[in-house]
Amino acid sequence: MPFKNPEKLRTYRRNYYENHKEELRSHHRKYYQERREVISLSRKKFREIHGDEIRAYGRDYYQNHREKILAGCKKYGLDHRAEKRIYLREYWHANKEKLVAQQKRYRHDHREDINASARKYRQDHGEEINARIRKYRRETGIKNRLEARNSNQLRDSYIKRLLGQQFNIPHHLLDQQIISEKRELLQVIRLVRKIKPLIKEVSL
Amino acid sequence: MKKLDLDRINEDTRAMKKVFNLAIRELEEVLDHKKTPTDLTRIASNTASTYGKLKSAEIHDKALELLIARKDLKFIE
């Protein structure tokens, strides 16, 4: 349906949206649910790539429109979440010492209560927390180990753990020389492992 | 028993160290695509794995010394 008049097109679109609101919304919801992982991954990726730019833009914007934003905060009674955050950050920096002292005092006065509630939470959600910790350790542990193996400078802690596992020696007894030698050995082993598939094709 | 010639051993060690360094350099050059793998690379790889075995024996000895020292400490206590 061609529209020459942009105003008419806008009206048509608005009406179409109003008339098919539920349908469109459910379609969008379904679309999002089906591709949720892909979308969130791509958002994360975008954020990773352009994170610095976005943050810099935000900072610049705040610096340039500071007065306006703060005036807006006051005017709208801090309804806006972002503005509220900005206001709170400012407030925190301005009253840091006072607030920290207040927190400490509260903690001191209500120590028993806080500890009891933490204990109760732990009791109620123990399994859940443990599962989360296990999952986190499993994921980051694998990542850390891979990083340690792949990095050129193998980290001392990784080598210490390796030596500790092999010979059952506590970490504080391992001297620097033995660690550096182990590092060298691991590098040589890695070289040999990498070269093996290449020289398979060469015959003596 | 024949007496050990320490100078000779040191000389041998130095010579072996040179060989090991050459082997490792050869492997690095092939992995950096500066050279194509040849028979020399194969020999270098064997040399490097021998070096690895010797080195690991050395480390094992040192670790054992540390372990014994620790046990002695416990014994004195």
Q: What is the pLDDT of residue B76?
A: 47
Asked whether the beta carbons of residue A198 and residue B70 sit closer than 8 angstroms, the reply is no
pTM for the whole thing? 0.40
State percent of chain B over pLDDT 90: 0
pLDDT (tens digit, 9 = 90+) per residue, A142-193?
A: 776 666 666 655 567 777 777 777 766 666 667 777 777 887 888 888 888 8
Q: Give the CA distances from residue A29 to residues A34, A38, A44, A200, in Å, rounded to whole numbers and listed in that order.
A: 9, 15, 20, 54
Q: How many CB pairs under 8 A join A and B?
A: 75
CA-based nearest distance B2→chain A, Å: 32
Q: Hey, is the C-beta of A166 within 8 angstroms of any chain B C-beta? A: yes
Ranges A124-133, A134-143, A145-154, B56-65: which has the least confidence: A145-154
Q: Inform me whether the pLDDT recorded for B72 exceeds 70.
A: no
Residues 46-75 of B with CB under 8 A from A: 48-49, 51-52, 55-56, 58-60, 62-64, 66-67, 69-70
Asked whether the beta carbons of residue A191 and residue B28 sit closer than 8 angstroms, the reply is yes
Q: What is the pLDDT of residue A151?
A: 61
Q: What is the pLDDT of residue B2?
A: 57
Q: Inform me whether the pLDDT recorded for A79 exceeds 50.
A: yes
For residue A181, the chain B residues in CB contact (below 8 A) are 55, 58-59, 62
pLDDT (tens digit, 9 = 90+) per residue, B18-42?
A: 888 888 888 888 888 888 888 888 8
For residue B73, the chain A residues in CB contact (below 8 A) are none
Q: Hey, is the C-beta of B77 within 8 angstroms of any chain A C-beta? A: no
The single residue listed with the structure tokens 């500071």 is: A66
Q: Hey, is the C-beta of B31 within 8 angstroms of any chain A C-beta? A: yes
Nearest to B65 by CA among A167, A184, A180: A167
Residue of B61 and A78 predicted with greater confidence:
B61
State percent of chain A over pLDDT 70: 84
DSSP structure class, residue B4: P
Alpha carbon distance B27, B37 (integer Å):
9
Q: Hey, is the C-beta of A192 within 8 angstroms of any chain B C-beta? A: yes
Domain ranges of chain B: 6-76
For residue B27, the chain A residues in CB contact (below 8 A) are 191-192, 195
Q: What is the pLDDT of residue A146?
A: 66
